């Protein structure tokens, strides 16, 4: 999740990478994001132990924090590692900088840390608050990919980027999903790169923000996976929850842009426990529990388990932007579970 997020008052679909952890569901995993924007959080070694004691098998981190990478050694936890937006320009402009970054933050740990994906940038589009980084995303991806290949790790680690809702110009009904005309020249070459390298697209999917941005048209139970009946009929596809509708709108857009064979990894999804509309402990518990169960299957458009990362591991008291940003944690900073959730 971006440190600051301006949510449009429309159905929101997000793509992206913070620290995340995952549970195994067949060949897929449930992940939990581990962000560090707090002044009261446990040490990296304590966090790794918390992941392990809760059976969380994968993690996403938003920057190459050396303490976290050291603590991950020998843990068996799979990792999504972000290239921070502020590092994109240097990695895009100079292949040697990308090689050094990969050597220092990946290769030096690769024998003991299970890297899964490198996310070059989080929620970067040529429009919006991160527009200044957009021109560097694909060149950075290419340079990081070259460095990964040179290190002989291309079979283990895939390079991608994390994006979000504003990439779509149309998201309803899901089958009409298409990329916005003002981002197509940005996203289409990225789709080609992902297809050529067998990499997934990372997407931050937040029914919470879609619901709160359009409460007149979207019912709370549709966002929480608790609707007793089909809400949206879209040709042969029927939708009983908003998560599937958001994800399938992105799949539909990929199909129209030549990416019909791409896999989407849900790199963030969560619900806040306070700070805004419908942000309660009960709603958050309901969302996380239902999401964990739901992603064991597919969507109306795509069958199979959905690799998903929950946002986030802890409440983070130094997050900026909306007040809700501080309250997405599955655990308190004192490592107590807020929801007594089983990650399996």
Q: Please indicate, yes or no, if residue 10 is contained in any of the structural domains.
A: no
Q: How many residues does the chain have?
A: 344
Q: Is residue 336 among the annotated active site residues?
A: no
Q: Tell me the pairing of strands 23-25 and 28-33.
A: antiparallel
- Phi/psi of residue 244, nearest 5 degrees: -60, -40
Q: How many domains does the chain have?
A: 1
Mean residue pLDDT of the chain comes to 92
Q: What pairs with residue 81 in β-bridges?
A: 61, 118
Q: Is residue 123 among the annotated active site residues?
A: yes
In this prediction, residues 300-329 reach a mean pLDDT of: 97
List pLDDT tens digits, range 33-77.
Answer: 999 999 999 999 999 999 999 999 999 999 999 999 999 999 999
pLDDT of residue 344: 82
pLDDT of residue 29: 61
Q: Please indicate, yes or no, if residue 12 is contained in any of the structural domains.
A: no
pLDDT of residue 25: 38
Q: Please indicate, yes or no, if residue 2 is contained in any of the structural domains.
A: no
Does the pLDDT value for residue 167 go beyond 80?
yes
Q: What pairs with residue 78 in β-bridges?
A: 58, 114
Owning domain of residue 154 = 31-331
Selected catalytic residue, list 78, 196, 229, 268: 268
CATH of the domain at 212: 3.20.20.80
Does the pLDDT value for residue 22 go beyond 80?
no
DSSP label of 314: B
Distance CA 291, CA 86 (A): 32
User: Is residue 116 a contact partner of residue 80, using CB atoms and an 8 Å limit?
Assistant: yes
List pLDDT tens digits, range 85-109.
Answer: 999 999 999 999 999 999 999 999 9
pLDDT band of residue 13 (cuts 50, 70, 90) is very low
Q: Please indicate, yes or no, if residue 187 is contained in any of the structural domains.
A: yes
Q: Please indicate, yes or no, if residue 338 is contained in any of the structural domains.
A: no
Q: Which residue has the higher pLDDT, 269 or 20?
A: 269
pLDDT of residue 4: 40
Element of type H or E holding 140: helix 134-150
CA 123 to chain centre: 9
Selected catalytic residue, list 78, 123, 307, 316: 123
Q: Please indicate, yes or no, if residue 122 is contained in any of the structural domains.
A: yes
Q: Please indicate, yes or no, if residue 5 is contained in any of the structural domains.
A: no
Distance CA 71, CA 309 (A): 20
Quick one: tokens of 132? 């200044």
Q: Using the structure block, give the residue that is written with the tokens 């290419």.
A: 142
| Beta carbons within 10 angstroms of residue 149's beta carbon | 15
Q: Please indicate, yes or no, if residue 315 is contained in any of the structural domains.
A: yes
């Amino acid at each position: 999740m971006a440190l600051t997020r301006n949510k449009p008052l429309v159905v929101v679909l997000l793509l992206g990478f913070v620290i995340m952890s995952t549970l195994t569901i067949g060949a897929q995993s449930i992940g939990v994001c581990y962000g560090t924007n707090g002044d009261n959080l446990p040490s990296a070694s304590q966090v790794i132990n918390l992941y392990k004691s809760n059976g969380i098998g994968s993690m996403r981190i938003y920057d190459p924090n050396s303490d976290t990478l050291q603590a991950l050694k020998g843990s068996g936890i799979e990792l999504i590692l972000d290239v921070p937006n502020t590092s994109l320009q240097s990695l895009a402009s100079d292949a040697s900088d990308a090689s050094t970054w990969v050597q220092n933050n990946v290769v030096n740990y690769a024998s003991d840390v299970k890297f899964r994906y490198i996310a070059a940038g989080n929620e970067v589009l040529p429009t919006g608050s991160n527009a200044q980084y957009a021109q560097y995303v694909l060149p950075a991806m290419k340079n990081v990919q070259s460095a990964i290949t040179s290190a002989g790790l291309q079979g283990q680690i895939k390079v991608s980027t994390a994006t979000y809702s504003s990439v779509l110009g149309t998201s309803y009904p899901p089958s009409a999903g298409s990329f916005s005309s003002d981002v197509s020249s940005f996203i289409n070459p990225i789709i080609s790169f992902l297809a050529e390298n067998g990499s997934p697209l990372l997407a931050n999917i937040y029914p919470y923000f879609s619901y709160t941005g359009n409460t007149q048209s979207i019912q709370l139970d549709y966002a929480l996976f608790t609707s007793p009946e089909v809400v949206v009929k879209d040709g042969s596809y029927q939708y009983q929850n908003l998560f599937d509708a958001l994800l399938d709108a992105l799949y539909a857009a990929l199909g129209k842009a030549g990416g019909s064979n791409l896999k989407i990894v849900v790199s963030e999804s969560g619900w806040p426990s306070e700070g805004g509309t419908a942000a309660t402990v009960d709603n958050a518990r309901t969302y996380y529990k239902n999401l964990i169960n739901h992603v064991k299957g597919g969507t109306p458009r795509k069958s199979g388990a959905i690799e998903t990362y929950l946002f986030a591991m802890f409440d983070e008291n130094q997050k900026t932007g909306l007040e809700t940003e501080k309250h997405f944690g599955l655990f308190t900073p004192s490592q107590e579970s807020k929801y007594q959730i089983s990650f399996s």
